[in-house]
């Protein structure tokens, strides 16, 4: 901390010390909050974790048994979201980064992406219900849920991919073209591989959000109790966030440790994805060729 030492500055130094103290206190409050949240769930949830819990089916109206179908459901929904959102998102980002001129049509695309990013998740659920479940007759299904989550995840993937592509130095492209490559060849063989870690990070972070969302799948995919795993994309499915929501609000006599256990599994799933993305990002930064 830089302090001055003239006589009149004693008061200012005092103010600074108090001010810094206050700010530090508030910042520590934030840290405390985060640690409390994670701590509570970990400490109270671990007793419920066992092989049976993770691989078994629920019984006694959810009050006992395992949460395997919910875990499977979340994985399926996440994969489904990736299936639709990743190719579309990366392709759109390639357009924005490599092809699009700076005119008002491109600006319109960017405004649309900002819009999509800002739409509340429950409005996505509403849209998904109306379009995929009812109008297109997919019913409450993994398909409808994945499509809804995919549109919701699209802005994240487009933006992070575009940034990853932009981070590749222009000189790479220039050299490639000067050696005779076409634009697409340059993209496919130079730009994309170079930006791969960045794209991967963005995709994982986007999917991480999709995995944790409840509102979009409330009416498009989620079922509370399924005696068996889903057979086809047109089946509805259990899902971790939805399961946690229902067992904490709508099942009387729900054992608390099962609630915490479910929360812990969801947390581990989400934070695990976060961790993977962070590791990819830092390793890529170390190995960068520019």
> How many residues contact another protein, by CB under 8 A?
98
Site for another protein in 53-72 (CB under 8 A): none
The residue within the footprint of another protein, chosen from 56, 61, 83, 163 (CB under 8 A), is: 163
Is the Cα dihedral 157, 160, 163, 167 positive or negative?
Answer: negative
Q: How far is the CB of 273 from another protein (least distance, A)?
A: 8
Compute the residue count for the chain: 290
| Residue 119 binds to another protein (criterion: CB under 8 A) | yes
Nearer to another protein, 26 or 51 (CB): 26
Instruction: Outline where 46-180 has alpha helix (H).
Output: 51-55, 68-94, 104-118, 121-128, 142-167, 170-178
Answer yes or no: are the C-beta atoms of 170 and 232 closer than 8 Å. Answer: no
Q: Which stretch binds another protein (CB under 8 A): 54-62, 63-71, 214-222, 227-235?
A: 214-222
111 near another protein, judged by CB under 8 A: yes
**Whole-number minimum distance, CB 84 to another protein, in Å?**
11
Please spell the DSSP secondary structure of 197-233, one letter per residue: HHHHHHHHHHHHHHHH--HHHHTTTB-S--SS---ST
Q: Is 227 in the site for another protein (CB under 8 A)?
A: no
Nearest one of 67, 85, 38 to 270, comparing CA atoms: 38
What DSSP state is assigned to residue 56?
S
Q: Does 279 contact another protein by CB under 8 A? A: no
* Sites for another protein among residues 3-62 (CB under 8 A): 3-4, 9, 12-13, 15-16, 19-20, 22-24, 26-27, 29-31, 33-34, 37-38, 40-41
In this chain, which of 92, 168, 221, 226 binds another protein, going by CB under 8 A?
A: 92
């Amino acid at each position: 901390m830089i302090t001055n030492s003239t006589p009149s500055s004693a008061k200012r130094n005092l103010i600074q010390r108090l001010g810094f103290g206050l700010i530090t206190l508030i910042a520590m409050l934030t840290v405390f909050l985060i640690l409390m949240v994670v701590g509570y769930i970990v400490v109270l949830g671990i007793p419920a974790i066992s092989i049976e819990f993770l691989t078994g089916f629920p019984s006694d109206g959810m009050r006992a048994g395992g949460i395997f179908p919910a875990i499977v459901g979340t994985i399926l929904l996440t994969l489904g979201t990736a299936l639709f959102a990743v190719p579309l998102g990366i392709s759109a980002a390639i357009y924005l980064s490599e092809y699009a001129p700076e005119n008002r049509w491109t600006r319109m695309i960017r405004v649309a992406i900002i819009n999509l990013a800002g739409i509340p998740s429950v409005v996505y659920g509403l849209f998904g219900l109306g379009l995929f479940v009812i109008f297109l007759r997919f019913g409450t299904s993994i398909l409808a849920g994945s499509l809804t989550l995919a549109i919701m995840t699209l802005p994240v993937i487009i933006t992070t991919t575009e940034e990853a592509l932009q981070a590749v130095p222009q000189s790479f492209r220039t050299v490639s073209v000067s050696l005779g490559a076409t634009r697409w060849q340059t993209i496919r063989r130079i730009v994309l591989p170079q930006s791969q870690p960045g794209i991967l990070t963005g995709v994982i972070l986007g999917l991480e959000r999709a995995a944790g969302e409840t509102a979009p799948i409330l009416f498009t995919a989620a079922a509370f109790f399924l005696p068996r795993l889903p057979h086809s994309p047109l089946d509805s499915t259990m899902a971790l966030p939805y399961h946690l929501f229902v067992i904490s609000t709508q099942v009387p006599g729900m054992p608390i440790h099962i609630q915490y256990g479910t929360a812990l599994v969801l947390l581990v799933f989400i934070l695990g994805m976060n961790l993977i993305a962070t590791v990819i990002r830092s390793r890529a930064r170390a190995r960068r060729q520019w």
